[in-house]
Amino acid sequence: MTVHPTFIEDLYVIEPKVFNDERGFFYEFFNQKVFEQLTGQKTGFVQDNLAQSRKGVLRGFHFQKEPYAQTKLVSVLNGAVLDVVVDLRKNSKTYKQHFSIILSAENKKQLFIPRGFAHAYLSLEDDSLFFYKIDNFYHPESEAGIRFDDPDLNIDWQYDLSKLILSDKDRNLPYLKNMNDL
């Protein structure tokens, strides 16, 4: 695997080494030992999740507050998504800055998201399968989120926002400036 640091500390794009032949392909999805050697980041994933979305579905921005925050390793098994994270670590040099990347079944890239980030993704194709590993269990009382169209974040979703498919929950999330208890 190749690990690419981003401009945001501890946020990594991972490209697995893919072996292709006439039968198809093989790649090692995650190797804890190699990952920790390349990044210095310890992981302890406890759960794997899979979500299916049709084109235009936007999920997020979601996060869990401490002590139930989650580290995530995200990827796409079918289709493609625009994946976006916002750094909510108050002591970070990149606090309130965002990073986006297209993850797809074709490019097989993964994004390692440490604790302290809000996370969202927009499905760019029908039947996109979004897979992610997490290092902490879901805790409903610690769940929080930020509106996808927060003007202070100024996210370019590269999509006609009038065609988005959102849950009522995501449509009614607060703006970051209205959140007191990050």
Q: How many angstroms separate the CA atoms of 114 and 147, rounded?
A: 20
Query: Of the listed 62, 68, 95, 159, which one is catalytic?
Result: 62
Task: Tell me if residue 117 falls in helix, strand or coil.
Answer: strand
Please pick, among 12, 119, 121, 132, the residue that the annotation labels catalytic: 132
Annotated catalytic, 132? yes
For the chain, strand residue ranges (E) read: 2-5, 12-15, 18-21, 24-27, 47-53, 58-64, 72-78, 80-87, 98-104, 110-113, 117-123, 128-134, 143-145
User: Nearest 10 degrees: CA dihedral of 119, 125, 128, 134?
Assistant: -10
SS3 content of the chain, % helix, strand, coil (to 5): 10, 40, 45
The yes-or-no answer on residue 4 being catalytic is: no
Q: Annotated active-site positions, please?
A: 62, 132
